[in-house]
Structure 1
Amino acid sequence: PVQYFRDFFDAELLETISKQSNLYCAQESPNSALKLDPSELEQFIGTVMYISVIHLPRLRMYWSNDCRIRQVADVVSRDRFEEITKFLHFNDNNNMAANSRDKLFKIRPIVDSLLQKFQAIPQDQMLFIGEQIVPFKGRSSLKQYMPKKPHRWGYKIYVLCDTKGLVHSFDIFTGRTAPERGEPDIGPTGNIVLKLAQAVQRADDHLLYFDHWFSSLDLLAALAKKGIPALGTVQLNQLQGCCFSTNSDMKKKGRGTFEEKKVVFDGAELRAVKWFDSKGVIIASNFPGAHSVSRVKRWDKKLKHNVFVTCPSIISLYHKFLGGVHALNAQIASCRIQVRSKKYYHRFFFHFVDMVVVNSWLLYQRDCDSLDVPKKEWKDLLAFRTSVAQALCMQFNENSSVKREPPSPDGEREVRSDAVGHWPMTGSERQRCKFNKCKGQSVYKCSKCGIHLCLNKHNNCFIEFHNR
């Protein structure tokens, strides 16, 4: 699994982040040096992944004596983790004045690197364009308020993905969406689709989906000129010169009633189909629509059983492959990295780590399927994520913390002296004795306290520790 992750966070990107973080530390605190290298950065990313899997209310609790999580505390010390988080940086601030128009300047190296790798991934036939929200409530000019979303405050990202959620391209909304060079200006939402559609490989081999927020006749006509078949739900007021029966009239004719209209717009022949089920829905496309009809199963409230109703093929096609971005959002939300920070570029960085993990897992599943690996042997997303985290945390680094056991706190005196279940056992490695003023090394540890203590003919710190 870790090799899939490293295809995106490769050595070049890790080296860039390490270099910029060290530079930022030197700029902000000249008397101290961060000395972050790619290996320790990988360890930091691995511990962040563990934190997203093992949830605790406060960050410092991962290193506390009562709630210590060894997957995190044994890899990096608390102070070192906070130091790396404080100085984590991705671009040189001295160049910001020359790039003042770029609102994503601080995160630009990561965006450019990941876009190049996402766009090189082989694409499935069905592609979907939608939006996702990166939750954030801090102060930022990029933050958006969307009252109808599960997370009302956050950053908006437009995503091109397949039906399973595999990301092929994305665009961060910065407040204004200008048309790309050589593309017509068809409005903000249409410009977004045309920009993301540039990443579509072999246009005529794919079918592009989007919802009514993006749809318009201008967009469908522009995609038709590019040779990209597309369809999406539309509102009636977006269909100039196209009239359909009202919902009440279609309801009288029964469920499964549909109407098809042809529209010639800007030299392109478009089709719109309105189908009535429990309510009316309109789908427009730039390719043939309702020539074939299928039957779908629906529940009838009056008859109290399922019935079959007619459905145009274009409606069935849209419903069958809808929801790529929703699948992506659900997969990211299952184990989202929630390391708090007031810096907006940190929130983007952790979101991109989550996005890369999901992309890596979907590519892993695609390879397992092509190699005929039995499905019971596939790793699910949680197992895949923990496997990547474990591999990243195992990176050796001279500056990283040596694995250590927690010291014995005074608050645990009642536990260590209760004379119940304190048995000596052999540890996996030799460590320093945790008894006060003892500098010996021991392979024996207490099965209940979990700390190493001397137990030999010269020193018996095990008994002295539990009797004190």
Structure 2
Amino acid sequence: MYTFLVTFLLMGIVKKNSLREYWSTDPMFATPFFATLFSQDRFLALLRCLHFVNNATAILSDPLHKIRNVLISLTSAFGRVFVPYKDLCIDESLMLWKGRLAFRQYIPSKRHRFGVKFFVMCDVKTGFVQDIIVYTGSTTDIKHYEGLGVSGSVVMTMLAPHLGKGHTLYVDNWYSSPTLFQHLLSNSTGACGTVRSNRKGMPAFGCRKMQRGEVEFKENGQQLALKWHDKRDVHVLSTVHTATMSATGKVDHLTGERKIKPDCVLDYNLKMGAVDKADMINSFVECARKTTKWYKNIFFHLIDTAVLNGSIVHRQLTGEMITEQGIFVIGCTVHIQIHYAIIVTISHPPTHCLIIL
């Protein structure tokens, strides 16, 4: 099994259009290393048989019963091996899937647009993925909190192990609300994020058309709300900022004046992109294939995330900067091969025998 995972990780680096091309003997496309790990037929047979649950004891009403055990095991490990820094962010991620699936989502702002939606919580400083929840509609595995709705319940479920520790959370306008931020504040957790102007509890701002760069602040002693006009009106809510402005380091080429923005906007722009950054890094080395079933794709997506987290922990422990994720993946595959598996080549038939120690 270790060598099977090694093979899939390497496929994330060596990109080909189909799995069978990895065993091609065409001199122009040949990658003979894969044939030293597995024969083509053996690899495809293992992939077909890859299964993560006993169907006889599975809870069939759970939409994720085919992958639930792996999901719980890996997300528990993520939270166990790394203690996050002060700032956290929660955002959506989308794994490409265009096949038939009851909880497939369409998010036009994402790179893939169609697929399985994840709620992801990341440590802002390092990009470490702390927790993942797979969205399955009304059956999504979250604890429902009265008065917070689905979005607030997602936040409280993911933040539960980190409440009361002085963290600051950054979220977008799907999650933000005065009610949620007050609930977090009562649990010694700050929050900042863009917010919809019609959220219950939001103060009323002036109706006049604002010029670019103008800002209006409202505060009640615990929460700061603002309306700031950039290319359009932006509403931000925060429990960790004051009504102050700071220079962005850029200059307006028309007036020659320094550009300034509200401090909470600057912090939000700086700290909200951790989930998208993790998606971008994984996109270069992702090992999931379009030809596999949806739950196998989720499995390989989780493996990609585990490798990303491993590279972050490695950097935190050693201080060694690995500039390309692919280099770390290759290092992982070499380590797995050396420590967990021995490949024995036999002369008959034309396949390779894998012995797992």
TM-score range, shorter chain: 0.7 to 0.9
Q: Aligned to 1:262, which of 197, 219, 222?
A: 219
Q: Which residue of 2 aligns with 1:20?
A: none
Distance 1:75 1:179, change over 3 A: closer
Stretch of structure 1 that moved more, 126-135 or 188-197? 188-197
Report if aligned partners of 1:45, 1:392 keep a CA contact under 8 Å in 2.
Answer: no
Report if aligned partners of 2:250, 2:258 keep a CA contact under 8 Å in 1.
Answer: yes
Q: Which residue of 2 aligns with 1:114?
A: 74
Report if aligned partners of 2:10, 2:333 keep a CA contact under 8 Å in 1.
Answer: yes
Q: Which residue of 2 aligns with 1:199?
A: 161
1:346-405 Cα shifts (integer Å, max 9, x gaps): 011110111011111111111233xxx5x5xx463111011112333446657x66288x
1:128-183 Cα shifts (integer Å, max 9, x gaps): 000100111122212112233221211000011012421111111011247626x3
User: How many residues get paired?
Assistant: 344
Q: Which residue of 1 aligns with 2:95?
A: 134
Q: Which residue of 1 aligns with 2:51?
A: 89
Q: Aligned to 1:386, which of 330, 336, 345?
A: 330
Cα distance in 1, alignment partners of residues 340 and 72 from structure 2 = 28
3-state secondary structure, aligned to 1:74: helix
Alignment of 1:313-352 (within 5 A): 313-352=263-302
Report if aligned partners of 2:166, 2:188 keep a CA contact under 8 Å in 1.
Answer: no
Q: Which residue of 1 aligns with 2:258?
A: 308
Cα distance in 1, alignment partners of residues 153 and 168 from structure 2 = 18
3-state secondary structure, aligned to 1:213: coil
Distance 1:119 1:80, change over 3 A: same
Higher relative contact order, structure no. (Cα contacts within 8 Å, ≥ 6 residues apart): 2
Cα distance in 2, alignment partners of residues 135 and 141 from structure 1 = 14
Are 1:170 and 2:125 matched, yes or no? no
Q: Which residue of 2 aligns with 1:105?
A: 65
3-state secondary structure, aligned to 2:192: strand
Q: Which runs of 5+ in 1 are unaligned?
A: 1-40, 408-468
Percent of residue pairs identical: 27
Cα distance in 1, alignment partners of residues 331 and 141 from structure 2 = 42
Q: Which residue of 1 aligns with 2:345?
A: 402
Report if aligned partners of 1:262, 1:271 keep a CA contact under 8 Å in 2.
Answer: yes
Larger radius of gyration: 1
Q: Which residue of 1 aligns with 2:14?
A: 54
CA RMSD of aligned residues (A): 2.5
Q: Which residue of 2 aligns with 1:180?
A: 143
Are 1:224 and 2:185 matched, yes or no? yes
Task: Give the TM-score normalised by structure 2.
Answer: 0.88
Q: Which residue of 1 aligns with 2:355?
A: none
Cα distance in 2, alignment partners of residues 241 and 349 from structure 1 = 41
Post-superposition shift, 1:92?
0.3
Task: Give the TM-score normalised by structure 1.
Answer: 0.68
Cα distance in 2, alignment partners of residues 208 and 100 from structure 1 = 35
1:106-137 Cα shifts (integer Å, max 9, x gaps): 11111111121111211011100001001111
Distance 1:343 1:55, change over 3 A: same
Cα distance in 2, alignment partners of residues 118 and 245 from structure 1 = 45
Report if aligned partners of 1:178, 1:188 keep a CA contact under 8 Å in 2.
Answer: no
3-state secondary structure, aligned to 1:50: helix
Post-superposition shift, 1:215?
1.1
Distance 1:122 1:94, change over 3 A: same
Report if aligned partners of 1:165, 1:325 keep a CA contact under 8 Å in 2.
Answer: yes
Post-superposition shift, 1:301?
5.1
Post-superposition shift, 1:314?
2.0
